[in-house]
Structure 1
């Protein structure tokens, strides 16, 4: 079954959909208490996760997969940065159902009214504390093979556009459908004995056609939020500042925000605004969080036997913390546990 849309005067034909049956669907529910475990458990995306918000990390992930299509819902208790890509040629769309404040996508702030869209491009996404995302990812073989070429894209789309409102509604409907299908006894990973009534293969194929059509229409028709060029410059400035600070830590050099701004050719105010928009933190606060995160990764590798044992003090100084007591306090504030707790507990995945 296929659908045809008329976009900007050109016809775009969606790829023919293969026959569907419940056995081609697969659902998963994941829970994690560590940001790296969460990223590894998801598995299908090439994304690095970094915990930015303070407190014991908690996250959950639900997905339903059909041929060429992934429907997902993700919630994270702490603010998180995700960097990488969804995979070559894939088209993704998501929106924030809940969240304590704004997020940022490739340097552009976004809120609850916008839809995030990615196609064949690098992603730098920051979500706020208490964030819930709902979205879909389409494989390249479901996207139009003729007519209008899809542009490279990684920006929020304006929620005022009719195409975005339709996509927003379809993504939410898709999540409802996914949860219904996950209750079918004949869907791998589903809840045995709780079969839903949503079993019509033709209806599922039509829903998938509509979703592809809505994603393509939104990408072509909807304006992006803000000024993409300014967002790119903002993101590039933050990236340069981050790289410079990390290099100074590696060389055991002191860091002055004024000297950093002079080296980057910007003002303290501009740099602070860029960091707050992109990462939700000041430059020095971001550096502290990143160093704590790398120290945690070292401790977890040691706990798993993947790295030679060393003292907690050695781990702290390796990542730029010279006062062990202060390191322990900041570590506990950031992760909700002591460094010794992390070292004494093997890494594990929580999959439910």
Structure 2
């Protein structure tokens, strides 16, 4: 069942698509041409919204998520994404890398990356086709490959503030009557100031790369064995690391312990299955498929995280399924 609410606002600059959702993973699929999967981390009912504008090879959007979310993301091929958190940038992580003041996130298309974002989080995003980057001066520095090694770009305060103002203006004031061609040129000019030789790429240290590798390895294993009672000891053996190293890697990259992440991941997986369930499907069977053998404890943990019982989720979505 799709619980989205979709509206459009018209302006000379283009059609602004506004869509809301009440489920984290459903919200993840609302951003056009992105491949994403979201796991809700903080407890409570989820609210998400996206305002999105498409302009001839450039996508501009603002995303809001009410709860802390672990995001697995991949943007379309031959593109470059710039992400500018509007709130709590110091609490955001991209591939385990903490943002600092006046930094923006940066990832080329067709490359997997992860985000851990706090509750009540707003972020602006720009995705540009790589073919348009040749219109920007200093193209040797503005190709996606030049920025593929780092997750963050440090900007001058003026450049950062100008970019924030432009994105805020385009998405939050759609009736200003700015012609689409002018909007397009303004965005290219803004990216010219962002993608320059003066932009300091923040290369992750070797230690962070290693911690990311450990986390990625364990996440892949958990996905392949979600219906088995995987233990932290088993994950340590898999990654060939001590319990302390595994703990530190997860806390560094994701901000939570392996045991906590394991529980959160399984609960989110069970929720996805319940959203696809029919009236005939049994909640106990769904819980068991995700490694929850005690139904009462599963229901308690589920409600604590999502603010509703498994039966409520199943009923809400199965009426349409």
Give the TM interval when normalised to the shorter protein: 0.7 to 0.9
Contact 2:80 2:144 in 1 (8 A): no
TM-score (norm 1): 0.77
Q: Does 1:242 pair with 2:219?
A: yes
Contact 1:94 1:134 in 2 (8 A): yes
1:97 corresponds in structure 2 to: 86
Change (3 A) 1:50 1:111: farther
Alignment of 1:105-254 (within 5 A): 105-111=94-100, 113-120=102-109, 121-144=111-134, 147-148=139-140, 149-151=143-145, 152-153=147-148, 155-159=150-154, 161-162=155-156, 165-179=157-171, 182-183=174-175, 196=176, 198-199=177-178, 203-217=182-196, 220-225=197-202, 227-247=204-224, 249-250=226-227, 252-253=228-229
Contact 1:64 1:182 in 2 (8 A): no
CA shift, 1:302, in A, is 1.1
Change (3 A) 1:88 1:312: same
CA offsets, 1:225-273, max 9 Å, x none? 36343332211100112233455554x3551x34532442223222212
CA shift, 1:340, in A, is 0.6
Q: Does 1:314 pair with 2:309?
A: no
Cα distance in 1 for partners of 2:318, 2:26 equals: 8
CA shift, 1:338, in A, is 0.3
Q: Does 1:57 pair with 2:46?
A: yes
Change (3 A) 1:254 1:238: closer
Q: How many residues were matched structurally?
A: 305
Contact 2:29 2:37 in 1 (8 A): no
Change (3 A) 1:47 1:259: closer
Q: Does 1:344 pair with 2:315?
A: yes
TM-score (norm 2): 0.84
Q: Which of 236, 252, 273 is equivalent to 2:248?
A: 273
4+ runs deviating over 4 angstroms: 21-24, 200-203, 245-249
Cα distance in 2 for partners of 1:128, 1:100 equals: 9
Change (3 A) 1:26 1:117: same
Contact 1:25 1:65 in 2 (8 A): yes
> Unaligned regions of 5+ residues in structure 1, if any?
1-20, 184-195
Q: SS where residue 31 of structure 1 aligns?
A: strand
Cα distance in 1 for partners of 2:308, 2:275 equals: 13
Cα distance in 2 for partners of 1:237, 1:99 equals: 27
Contact 2:106 2:153 in 1 (8 A): no
Q: Does 1:328 pair with 2:277?
A: no
Moved more, 88-97 or 267-276: 267-276
CA shift, 1:342, in A, is 0.4
> Unaligned regions of 5+ residues in structure 2, if any?
1-9
Change (3 A) 1:224 1:208: closer
